[in-house]
Chains A and B, each alone.
Chain A
Amino acid sequence: MSTLSLKQLRKQFGDVTAVHEINLEVGDGEFLCILGPSGCGKSTALRMIAGFEEPTSGDILIDGQSVVTMAANHRPTAMVFQKYTLWPHMKVYDNIAFGLKLRGLARTEIDRKVNEALELVGLPDYGKRMPNQLSGGEQQRIALARALVLEPKILLLDEPFSNLDALLRVRLREELRRIQRRVKITAIFVTHDQEEALSLADRIAVMSKGRVEQLDVPSRIYDQPATLFVADFIGVMNLIPAQQNGATIDLGALRLESPTRVNGTVTVAIRPEDIAIVGESDVDAWGGEVEQIIDLGHYRKLLVKVPSVGTLKVYAPKALDLRENQLIGLNPSRFTIFRDGAAPIEVKREAVAPLEMSVAV
């Protein structure tokens, strides 16, 4: 039941700045994901919170109290690492009990807590096993139990599931969320997997090159990316370089309207699901040729080549009968304009009736 705040937190390794002044407030019981590509500084930030890296400058507060001068072994944080870091020479029970023993708890108390923790992660009766007898998923659950048993104020997770296979990853993700809600612990979860972040987090901090690009709830991160990086990194996005003249952007056959008047280079970002497929001869549409059809199970992704716009990614329902090399029309219903040094501008266009599924093109 704790809050965490990072104030102007910075980390420099020689000439390289791994983390630029970060400011972050994490509320009590909140599940925050730090999301970003590898090398963006997310792990360094987490390791500073845990006390494994010393910040170059800035402050870390837990419940309003600075912990920067506190050594890792005294901080009220507990970490789950990417690699299964169960001590291979200790039984599962002893792995979990290690920290409790350090705190001088009574034997019966340790026993009770270890069993509770094992119960919590769904692995009762695993105490007597050695770590190398467990599967990767089991090991990581024990690692979680080991962290939670100490009742830390902040739970830190450093890409804990990235060594597991896809199916297991999803299952453990759901389980983690359930456990976190149950014990109501404040958690910071670092990952490069956006799906993981979107499905787990109360809020997401997207990081790039040592900076927080956007801090927001998952739906807003997806729907209203604050920067071009976030727009590109999260989900699938069509990014089209263009020229804006006054309030209009001429892009291929379409003239897009902008609420602000500027002249210069901009990037138009359009989500595939915001592009409707219409008839080839539709006036208010880009005409394009289907280059490739990728079947993704319950829907299809199309790569459509649009003259003087580029190749656009578009989703199509399976019922729509499409072939490669077929000519279709594309109509964007929503887009965002990114311009250097300016806030992004979201623009909605009038809805156009998409191509009826029944209509054979």
Chain B
Amino acid sequence: MTTLTLSMRDRLKRYAAREGFGLFALIFLIIFIVLPILTVLLWGFAIRWRFPAVIPTEWGFDFWQETLSRADLRRAFPNSIVLSISVTLLSMVICLPASYAFARMNFRGKQFFLLSFLFTNAFPRLGLYVAIAIIFFRLGLVGTFAGVVIVQLLNTLLLMIWIPTAAFQGVERSLEEAALDVGASRLRVFMQITLPLVFPAVFAAVLLTFVNTFYETYGALLIGAPNVLTIPVIMFPLINNQPIPQYGAILSLVLFAPSVVLLLFANRLLRGGYLTAGFGV
């Protein structure tokens, strides 16, 4: 009896020692990460919020109408949407066949070519875009929609190649052979066996690509501005030196909207390990 209670107490102690750190970490993370995000949310729906009130003293949607009817946003919003969709679709068209080749075919230099996509991460974005801008300037691509698409496409390559490649490699070849064996054509095997099996990973890659492009700032800033403005680009002046904080807050929430979709899939995305697969871990 005594030994039992002792070991119970021992276990409790150990639990407290371990979860003590967890609780501390959780509280720190909530203050450091959740509260700043919450601040944006509160500002988005605040009409009056003065120090030292912890929450706004007056609430309402007044600023939403004002912000959403701004001329620059009216120009930037469709730009952002059309850009993100175009870049995502183009990226799929370019990358998915390539990732299939990387996963399923044998050819000389395969490893080298696959690894070369890592270099999209190996250069600092802004510096790279300055170098690209100098070339684009000569080609007349600076300040054009096409120019921004090309630069943003570059950003999507690593995720869109590596995640689907890992997914295609994960499909047992014998699953495809078994379908061939019962008489399915190669196309049908791809459509009915391979594709459904890689769908979660490819879907994750597409979603990430869309959201990342929607946020993309540097390419749009350096190549697109001032002709092709996107939401993140028009936010800079609204955040810096802007006496009315609500503008920034509301635009932030607009920009955040697609992420909410991504958040809904976050669990599945992370469980599959697709995110880290895209960085070579």
- Which A residues lie at the B interface, using CB under 8 A? 50-52, 71-74, 77-79, 81-83, 85, 87-89, 98-99, 102-103, 143, 146-147, 150
Tell me which of B181, B185, B197 contacts A50 (CB under 8 A): B181
| B120 vs chain A, min Cβ distance (A) | 32
Tell me which of A85, A99, A147, A150 contacts B177 (CB under 8 A): A85
Are A77 and B181 closer than 8 Å at their CB atoms? yes
Are A52 and B180 closer than 8 Å at their CB atoms? yes
Given A72-B177, A85-B177, A87-B193, residue A99 in contact with residue B172 (CB < 8 A): no
The docked-state distance in angstroms from the alpha carbon of A87 to that of B181 is 13
Tell me which of A73, A82, A83 contacts B181 (CB under 8 A): A73
Given A85-B172, A89-B196, A89-B197, residue A98 in contact with residue B182 (CB < 8 A): yes
Contact sample, A vs B, 29 pairs, CB 8 Å cutoff:
A52-B177, A71-B180, A72-B180, A72-B181, A73-B181, A73-B182, A73-B184, A78-B181, A78-B182, A81-B174, A81-B177, A81-B178, A82-B174, A85-B172, A85-B175, A85-B177, A87-B197, A88-B197, A89-B196, A98-B179, A98-B192, A99-B182, A102-B183, A102-B184, A103-B183, A146-B178, A147-B181, A150-B182, A150-B183
The docked-state distance in angstroms from the alpha carbon of A284 to that of B180 is 63
Number of residues of chain B lying within 8 A (CB) of chain A: 18
| A205 vs chain B, min Cβ distance (A) | 22
| B188 interface hit (Cβ, 8 Å) | yes
Chain A residues with Cβ below 8 Å from B185 are: 73
Given A89-B196, A89-B197, A102-B188, residue A83 in contact with residue B174 (CB < 8 A): yes
Chain A residues with Cβ below 8 Å from B182 are: 73, 78, 98-99, 102, 146-147, 150
Chain B residues with Cβ below 8 Å from A99 are: 182-184
Given A88-B197, A89-B197, A98-B179, residue A83 in contact with residue B184 (CB < 8 A): no
Chain A residues with Cβ below 8 Å from B183 are: 73-74, 99, 102-103, 150
Chain A residues with Cβ below 8 Å from B193 are: 87
Chain B: which residue is nearest A96 at the CB level? B182
Chain A: which residue is nearest B182 at the CB level? A99
The docked-state distance in angstroms from the alpha carbon of A50 to that of B197 is 24
The docked-state distance in angstroms from the alpha carbon of A72 to that of B175 is 14
Chain B: which residue is nearest A146 at the CB level? B182
Chain A residues with Cβ below 8 Å from B184 are: 73, 98-99, 102
